[in-house]
Structure 1
């Protein structure tokens, strides 16, 4: 069959790479795609928001499965448009995607169905929000209610920082419509991890847990980003915590969405934190995480097309995973997540048989790749353990060491390697 991937980032490049491996797939299309995707897919000059154009292309090109990568078209109802045209599509409807589109909705849902998460309050009035912040004290978390490209969260370590964040969002419109309402949450201490699952209604099929690194700079310093690197699986996560996350969080929230008349089909992403009281929810997303997808899919031994078709047909996919660990590090444009320049030439990158390069914000100009986004590439590798996967990854990053136009974190996964080593010493 022919497969269409909608999106232009690293997550979509990983999907394209995985679909290209399938013996069931004839042609892989990406709309609009990016320069790197054109190596394994046919890029179509159609925007993610051009619903009529995407539906028409899928009809004309005999597309047997469409997969929607990014959140914005999901929230705008792209899956609904494909369903109305009777086209096979993998992703949640507009109603179901609200679990990502409104943090207030997600918090209300978790509160009503007793799904463990941080205490919170929602505000559209800045003075009320600031009064609540003063009452609760710091550290505290301030979030824009709507979509803000992964940047609408402030983990405030001081009262002044939290008060300023509330003012920036509600009064100054920092994130436009996305911050007309904010959610203020209690700060949760613990190790964060991501858990994605294939979902159809109340049927939930979890993937390997992954660890993302959101802060821009080493030592978890600087502003939040869309993600600067990741690895999977999270070997420090014990079996009981993983089982709790599946049985007490993922399955109940899928059932809750059915009960609310918003039955979810697609990829449900849970951003979780391992607290002293067990795993709790930080956020839900309605699609594959980025960059978690880039390190989870290389470990999936199944044919991804078959998995998705089975899920859509109500069949249980027997997910199998390769041994070892996969790690990836993001190369970003200098200045990201703030202002940055585009069109900067990229050095050549070499990877071994266990390594890979995922394009996120690149273009092809004058016979070479240049930057066209904040997150430019993800370079990754598989290894027998996390230390080996990271060593291989960082070896491939050497061409970027003295590049003033780009930067990357040099400590992705390193604390987990140190933790694993100390545990081994104790044993």
Structure 2
């Protein structure tokens, strides 16, 4: 088979890496890809937002299956367009991807179908949002309704912080139209976790749970990023809790989407808080998480292509998805200044010293004059696999000591919560 993966970050590198292990695939293309992906696939310089050009390429090269990594093309209807062109693609339509594209839509869906989540209110009027925050008090969570590359959420510890967040989103339009509407939520306390699932309408096949670390500094300090590291599975979360989440949250969500005429096919990401009252949804995404994918896929035993094919034919129900009895840890190395304005163009050294069970997933790299250089905020994801979480963690941090680029920053506490 010929397969096309759309995207060019660490998540797509992990997807390509996993697909490259399938004996059924002859050739993988990735648009636009990155230097790490280029070692496993043929990179094609087409932007993720150029849906028509991607479809033309898929036709010309007789691509038999396309898979999309990032949210942006999904929300712009890449699945709808490919299907109209008679092309095979596994992922949610524009209508189904709205579960990520609008936080207000997701909240309304949860309220209608009684899926547990935080209490909330949504606003398009700045003054009304301000009045609500002042009445409710802090801590409180402010979210831009639309896509903001994982940065449109502020957990405000004080009313002043909440007011500043509203001003940034609604008055200063820091996230463009994404912040024209905001969702204000009650602050939930507990253990955070992500549960990804393969979905083909009503059938849900959960993956191993993972935990992301969003704030840029140790101890969950500093501004939120796209994710500074993850680990999977979670030794502190009982398997019966995962079963409960699937039963009470993920399956009802899939069924609700079918009821709404927005049947979801693809990867459903559920971000959760395990509160004293039970698990509650923080957010949904309509695709693989980044960097969760970098720890989840290395633990997958089943051929990923087989799962995609089963999903396309509504055959997930009869599919057994197997997982390795191991742990994985991913530590993100970022550029100095990230998530604000960051450095670019620093030479990356030491990757030649890394070997399995450590995998280096490229997130923001490029080649210049034959040298690998930093190009994004998040540059590399260093993933290690071990028999235990401690072993995986030791391997990942051991590998990081061999890798260097000017201004490299990483958290030193990824996964440490689970080891306390």
With the shorter chain as reference, the TM-score category is over 0.9
**Distance (Å, rounded) in 1 between the aligned partners of 2:356 and 2:27:** 24
With the length of structure 1 as denominator, give the TM-score of the two structures.
0.96
Task: Give the aligned partner of residue 409 of structure 1.
Answer: 411
Alignment of 1:115-194 (within 5 A): 115-194=115-194
Task: Give the aligned partner of residue 50 of structure 1.
Answer: 50
**Distance (Å, rounded) in 2 between the aligned partners of 1:321 and 1:2:** 25
Alignment pair present for 1:377 and 2:369: no
- Partner of 2:402, secondary structure, is helix
Q: Is the 8 A contact 1:208 1:296 kept in 2?
A: yes
Task: Give the aligned partner of residue 107 of structure 1.
Answer: 107
**Distance (Å, rounded) in 1 between the aligned partners of 2:356 and 2:155:** 39
Q: Is the 8 A contact 1:400 1:406 kept in 2?
A: no
Q: Is the 8 A contact 2:202 2:254 kept in 1?
A: yes
Q: Is the 8 A contact 2:99 2:284 kept in 1?
A: yes
Task: Give the aligned partner of residue 16 of structure 2.
Answer: 16
Deviations 1:385-420 (A, max 9, x none): 11000000000000357x5421000110112112xx
Task: Give the aligned partner of residue 338 of structure 1.
Answer: 340
With the length of structure 2 as denominator, give the TM-score of the two structures.
0.98
- Partner of 2:197, secondary structure, is strand
- Partner of 1:399, secondary structure, is coil
**Distance (Å, rounded) in 1 between the aligned partners of 2:394 and 2:185:** 37
Q: Is the 8 A contact 2:346 2:406 kept in 1?
A: no
- Partner of 2:192, secondary structure, is strand
- Partner of 1:236, secondary structure, is coil
* Cα deviation, residue 366, structure 1: 1.5
Task: Give the aligned partner of residue 396 of structure 2.
Answer: 393
**Distance (Å, rounded) in 1 between the aligned partners of 2:300 and 2:294:** 11
Task: Name structure 1 gaps, 5 residues minimum.
Answer: 419-427
Task: Give the aligned partner of residue 324 of structure 2.
Answer: 322
Q: Is the 8 A contact 1:241 1:278 kept in 2?
A: no
Deviations 1:201-237 (A, max 9, x none): 1111111100110010111000000000001111211
- Partner of 2:64, secondary structure, is strand
Cα root mean square deviation, aligned: 0.9
* Cα deviation, residue 115, structure 1: 0.2
* Cα deviation, residue 35, structure 1: 1.2
Deviations 1:284-334 (A, max 9, x none): 000000000000000101110011101111113210011110111000010
Task: Give the aligned partner of residue 362 of structure 1.
Answer: 365
Task: Give the aligned partner of residue 67 of structure 1.
Answer: 67
**Distance (Å, rounded) in 2 between the aligned partners of 1:353 and 1:101:** 37
**Distance (Å, rounded) in 1 between the aligned partners of 2:355 and 2:52:** 42
Q: Is the 8 A contact 1:400 1:407 kept in 2?
A: no
**Distance (Å, rounded) in 1 between the aligned partners of 2:356 and 2:366:** 25
**Distance (Å, rounded) in 2 between the aligned partners of 1:326 and 1:265:** 27
Task: Give the aligned partner of residue 6 of structure 2.
Answer: 6
Deviations 1:125-156 (A, max 9, x none): 11110111111110000000000000000000
Task: Give the aligned partner of residue 97 of structure 1.
Answer: 97
Task: Give the aligned partner of residue 244 of structure 2.
Answer: 244
Alignment pair present for 1:273 and 2:273: yes
Task: Give the aligned partner of residue 425 of structure 1.
Answer: none
**Distance (Å, rounded) in 1 between the aligned partners of 2:339 and 2:192:** 21
Alignment of 1:30-45 (within 5 A): 30-45=30-45
Task: Name structure 2 gaps, 5 residues minimum.
Answer: none
**Distance (Å, rounded) in 2 between the aligned partners of 1:344 and 1:310:** 43
Alignment pair present for 1:285 and 2:306: no
* Cα deviation, residue 86, structure 1: 1.2
**Distance (Å, rounded) in 2 between the aligned partners of 1:102 and 1:51:** 21
Deviations 1:33-66 (A, max 9, x none): 1111100000001111111111111111121110
* Cα deviation, residue 271, structure 1: 0.3
